[in-house]
Amino acid sequence: MPGCDMATTWVVDSNCFIHMGSMAQDGLVEDLSKTIPEGIFVTPGVHKEVKTVRFQRWKNKPNLLDKMKSILTTISVEDSQIRGLANQIGEKAAPQDVDLSLMVLASKLSREGRDVVLVTDDFKMTTTSQKVNLGFTTCPPSTFLQRLSETSPNACKSRFRSLSRRTRAAEMRYAISRVNEYDIQAKLTWMVDSLIEAKPQPESKQTTPEKSSEQKLIRALRKYLLGGVPKKSHMNSLASLPDICSPVKELDAHLKEISSNDSVIVEAEYLRGIQLISSVLERVGLGLAPLDEEMAEIAHRAIAGHIYRMETCLAMLAKMNGEMMIARLHLSRALHHATLVDDVESEMLATNQLGFLALVRNNWMRAADLFETADRQAQATKSPRLAYVVCAGMARYLGGDENLAAKHLSSAQTMVKDEPVNAANTLLLLGKTLMAMDEVGLAIEVLDEGMECAIDANDIGITEQLAEYLVLANNALTDNDAQQYVGLRRYLDDLKSVSSKTSHQLEEKISEIEQQVETMSKPIDASEGWVDAETVFTESAKFTVLRQLTTEKNQSLIIGQHGDLGIVGFWLPDGDFQVSGGQNITIKNTQVKVAAAPDELRIEHNLSGLIAIKNPQEISFSAEINL
């Protein structure tokens, strides 16, 4: 990221792990964790190649993968990308598929702006990567360990140096043993050069004081804007910037106010937010206009976090209003600002939301790429990954890439097995998000798997919440939704394996849900004339949007689930409302009339009745905003 020294991202091949397994002493994993907080990146093929490798010098010779699991970040790579790279470098010259997958991964990480080094003793991977300019560098395992000795805490340095020397000796012996098979001179030269390049370069520190000074001013300005008290010397250096940037504090105050409310009127809150951010940006922009470029850059990076949070909130409100393209614009801006504050977690969340928007447009490959990027960012920050992996798997499956979908499913299975309660909560939140984006077919499949996790974990609270949303989802499901994702249930069914006892409990719960769905579709008595809305829509009964349909005449049919009336629909002839599933409906200060639904609508949407509203402007839609 701009303004900071970039840490190296290490992609490591199987032979390096084999070297470590045969020669490393106890404590290697702890040393690696301290030296590479981000962890080591691999592909699933590496797991297969080293699954039987053990630490030979450790007590009881434990399995290497079991011990190193916590520091490995495993990223799946599409078979099509592997084949594409093989064609690009020439099929005959191509390394093995696992090596190719590592090269694809290293190139992908490099395109994200990382300084990537692929650790391999296969010299062919170095020459081929240079041939097609994949954007990363390579080094042998011994150099990797030598570089770690130079950046690790003092307590680890000697152990890494010792392991590096032993590994280098093994590499040399192997290379010399192959002298009759190929010309080893180029490989030996590369090994030596990589060691020379690994040594610290003093001249690279020449720009450090300037960068360090700028970073201190950025941190000081951020601290001030968040309510802290920076050093007086820093405030003096910032000159007028604290006053110029002060308006961004209003954004955080606004977000705090929204978060503290039980619910907000979505459309009104979106318009209020747009007015506020426009006002803030105008005032800050006018203040920065006369300043030089360096001072403006400090300001932009200091306020980026505030803008990111506001843009994310506006995207959420736009999605609830059914304005997906506007939501995408806000999220793209949010992602841009997140990169300015070097906030990987914020980038991850914005990327994930963009993935949902691609999913809504049925752009499966784009959605998969975005979810997989969010997953890589989650692994880099040790954040929960299950939602990203499940979404990436569904997108790959729907896009026809069943091989990569299966790899994602395998990763998700491990996460679900290890933490079923967390999995149930994650799948509930994911199901709610998909419903809000009118992806009911996907939501039902996700909520079903969440129910299996909750029942298996014997968590009654989360089970009841999932049941509530499954009723909503089933009521919102149309024949088109059901047909669109045929086969997806078979794919997701393997996410959680359940016992016969859990299976029986699940069948009982699903039966209860089906009965509730059937009850809510029973016809209601029509009213003889207009009656006060408050007598029909009492405050004690929850009224929730299931979906919105728009006719060719720009009329809106809102379908909602009411605690007393069941599934009802009402027309909004002006077409002024754009809403998404999951929002709460309030109708008061007007009169309504209850009527039977025409057979066509009743059958298609399971309606129990239609509601006419005398003054449509008296309807409002609200939602909880969880920031």
Q: SS in 3 state form for 511-531?
A: HHHHHHHHHHCCCCCCCCCCE
Which CATH number is 531-623's, of 2.60.40, 2.60.120, 1.10.287, 2.40.50? Answer: 2.40.50
- Amino acid 324: pLDDT: 80
Residue 534: Cβ within 10 Å count? 14
* Burial bucket for residue 224 (CB in 10 Å: 0-12, 13-18, 19+): buried
Share of the chain above pLDDT 90, in %: 28
Lowest-confidence segment of 231-240, 417-426, 578-587 by average pLDDT: 578-587
SS (H, E, C) 131-159: HCCCCCEEECHHHHHHHHHHHCCHHHHHH
DSSP state, residue 72: E
Rg of the chain over CA atoms, in angstroms? 29
Q: Rounded to whole angstroms, what are the CA distances from 172 to 53, 122, 157, 195, 389? A: 22, 13, 22, 14, 41
User: What residues does each domain of the chain span?
Assistant: 8-202, 531-623
CA–CA gap between residue 229 and residue 222 (Å, rounded): 10
pLDDT in tens, 264-316: 788 889 999 999 999 999 999 999 988 888 898 899 989 998 998 899 899 88
pLDDT at 509 over 70: yes
Lowest-confidence segment of 155-164, 496-505, 570-579 by average pLDDT: 570-579
CA–CA gap between residue 393 and residue 386 (Å, rounded): 11
DSSP state, residue 54: B
pLDDT in tens, 418-459: 888 999 999 999 998 888 777 888 898 899 999 999 998 888
Residue 541: strand, helix, or coil: coil
- Higher pLDDT: 529 or 12? It is 12
- Amino acid 186: pLDDT: 60
Lowest-confidence segment of 178-192, 322-336, 430-444, 480-494 by average pLDDT: 178-192
- How many Cα atoms occupy the beta-carbon half-sphere of 40 within 13 Å? 29
pLDDT at 481 over 70: no
- Higher pLDDT: 543 or 550? It is 543
CA–CA gap between residue 474 and residue 200 (Å, rounded): 62
Cα 458–Cα 460–Cα 461 angle in degrees, nearest 5: 135
Question: Mean pLDDT, to the nearest integer, of 370-393?
Answer: 88
DSSP state, residue 202: G
Lowest-confidence segment of 80-84, 159-163, 208-212, 514-518 by average pLDDT: 208-212
pLDDT in tens, 20-33: 999 998 899 999 99
Among positive and negative, which fits the CA dihedral 54, 58, 59, 64? negative
pLDDT at 209 over 70: no
Using 50, 70 and 90 to split pLDDT, how confident is the model at 1? very low
Assigned token pair, 388: 């990203």
CB 614 within 8 A of CB 591: yes
pLDDT at 238 over 80: yes
- Amino acid 210: pLDDT: 53
CA–CA gap between residue 21 and residue 119 (Å, rounded): 16
CA–CA gap between residue 144 and residue 137 (Å, rounded): 12
pLDDT at 50 over 90: yes
Q: Rounded to whole angstroms, what are the CA distances from 59 to 19, 27, 50, 229, 503? A: 17, 12, 19, 52, 42
Assigned token pair, 608: 């129990």
- How many Cα atoms occupy the beta-carbon half-sphere of 619 within 13 Å? 27
pLDDT in tens, 73-109: 888 888 888 888 888 776 554 556 888 899 889 988 8
Superfamily of domain 8-202: 5'-nuclease (3.40.50.1010)
pLDDT at 251 over 60: yes
Token pair 């097995």 is found at: 417
Helix (H) or strand (E) holding 349: helix 344-360
Question: Mean pLDDT, to the nearest integer, of 201-217?
Answer: 58
DSSP state, residue 51: T
- How many Cα atoms occupy the beta-carbon half-sphere of 307 within 13 Å? 24
- Amino acid 194: pLDDT: 58
CA–CA gap between residue 330 and residue 316 (Å, rounded): 9
In sequence order, the β-bridge partners of residue 138 are 118
CA–CA gap between residue 162 and residue 152 (Å, rounded): 14
Residue type, 199: K
pLDDT at 384 over 50: yes
CA–CA gap between residue 556 and residue 603 (Å, rounded): 18
Using 50, 70 and 90 to split pLDDT, how confident is the model at 349? confident
- Amino acid 191: pLDDT: 60
- Amino acid 247: pLDDT: 96
Using 50, 70 and 90 to split pLDDT, how confident is the model at 195? low
DSSP 91-137: GGG---HHHHHHHHHHHHHHHTT-EEEEE-S-HHHHHHHHHTT-S-E
